[in-house]
Chain A
Amino acid sequence: MTPALVTVLLILHGLLGVALLGAITHQSFGVIPRSRGQGPRSFLDRFAQIDASAYTNAVILLFIITSIGGAILYAPYRVDVRPALEDRQLVAANGIFEIKEHLAAIGMGLLPAYWVFWRKTAVPAEMPARRYLTWMIAFCTWWNFIVGHVLNNIKGLI
């Protein structure tokens, strides 16, 4: 894989990550239980007052495509970046990437159940499953997004 292709893929991977982050964050706010008060609505109330189910297919598609991109970029990472981190004894940087790969895998594994719990109107007993699966996928997404950028910045500096 040429360096130019890696750069293009990395930018695409990052842009898809931004889209995924937006969708899953919006949906995550949408499933926070809240009481309907009479007072003025805050920005967060308006941000969360969305049809959260509308994001489900987009989240699944974006998570899969972004993960495939990450899987492709893993090979040049293993050859170019990881040895550089190891040479500089940046153990924690390696560690956060190890967690990133685990969260990408576990997040993909969660998608089928996430899809099932979002595909129809949830009965009250299923709301926690819907909420916590969404939040877990959001956690995986945020971790992977931040770690990806941190490692990209570290590689740019060394």
Chain B
Amino acid sequence: MDLASACKMFSTIFGIAYFVTFYSSWSPFLYYPEQGAFHVSAQAASAGPPILWYGWLAVATVVSAAIAALIPAEWVRRFPPAVFWIVPALLLLVVLFYEKRWFL
């Protein structure tokens, strides 16, 4: 795997991995700002509101880096360059469409 191919794959996978984690509301860890502490499981309501976003970022980074490292560079070179912007563009549209729920 060469660096350029890995970077392209990372960017293409990252948004998808991020969307899957936030859509499922799953995070490997939660941060409780009122406590200033990370936990791997949900705490009682008295602990205050948790932040899942850090966990979503971590999952998306690890998953996309692993996939980018595993896919052979020859495969990536066979993709037309359009794949590397069309997939993230579609993902952006999906996220915006999903989040329209706040405005209905």
Interface residue ranges, A against B (CB under 8 Å)? 71, 74-76, 78-79, 82-83, 91-92, 94-96, 98-99, 101-103, 105-106, 108-117, 125-126, 128-129, 132-133, 136, 139
Please give the number of chain B residues whose Cβ is less than 8 angstroms from any Cβ of chain A in the complex: 40
**B102, A98: Cβ atoms closer than 8 Å:** yes
Residue of A nearest to B56 (CB): A105
The answer to whether residues A75 and B31 also contact, given A102-B95, A106-B18, A128-B82 and a CB cut-off of 8 A, is yes
**A106, B53: Cβ atoms closer than 8 Å:** no
Residue of A nearest to B16 (CB): A109
Distance in Å from the Cβ of B81 to the closest Cβ of chain A? 4
Grouping DSSP codes into helix (H, G, I), strand (E, B) and loop, the B interface class, with mixed when no group exceeds half, is helix
The answer to whether residues A126 and B22 also contact, given A83-B49, A112-B8 and a CB cut-off of 8 A, is no
The answer to whether residues A136 and B88 also contact, given A106-B95, A110-B11, A115-B7 and a CB cut-off of 8 A, is yes
Interface residue ranges, B against A (CB under 8 Å)? 3-4, 6-8, 10-12, 14-15, 18, 22, 31, 33-34, 36, 48-49, 51, 53-54, 56-57, 60, 64, 80-82, 84-85, 88-89, 91-92, 95-96, 99, 101-103
The answer to whether residues A71 and B8 also contact, given A105-B60, A133-B85 and a CB cut-off of 8 A, is no
Collect the chain B residues with CB atoms within 8 Å of residue A75's CB.
Answer: 31, 33, 36, 51
**B85, A109: Cβ atoms closer than 8 Å:** no
9 A-B residue pairings within 8 Å (CB atoms):
A82-B49, A99-B102, A103-B92, A106-B92, A108-B57, A109-B14, A112-B7, A113-B88, A129-B85
Question: How many angstroms from the CA of A37 to the CA of B76 in the assembled complex?
Answer: 39
Collect the chain A residues with CB atoms within 8 Å of residue B12's CB.
Answer: 113
From B89, B92, B103, name the one whose CB has the most chain A CB atoms within 10 angstroms.
B92
Q: Nearest 5 A-B pairs (CB), nearest first?
A: A95-B102, A109-B14, A113-B11, A112-B7, A75-B33
Question: How many angstroms from the CA of A73 to the CA of B57 in the assembled complex?
Answer: 16
Collect the chain A residues with CB atoms within 8 Å of residue B57's CB.
Answer: 71, 105, 108
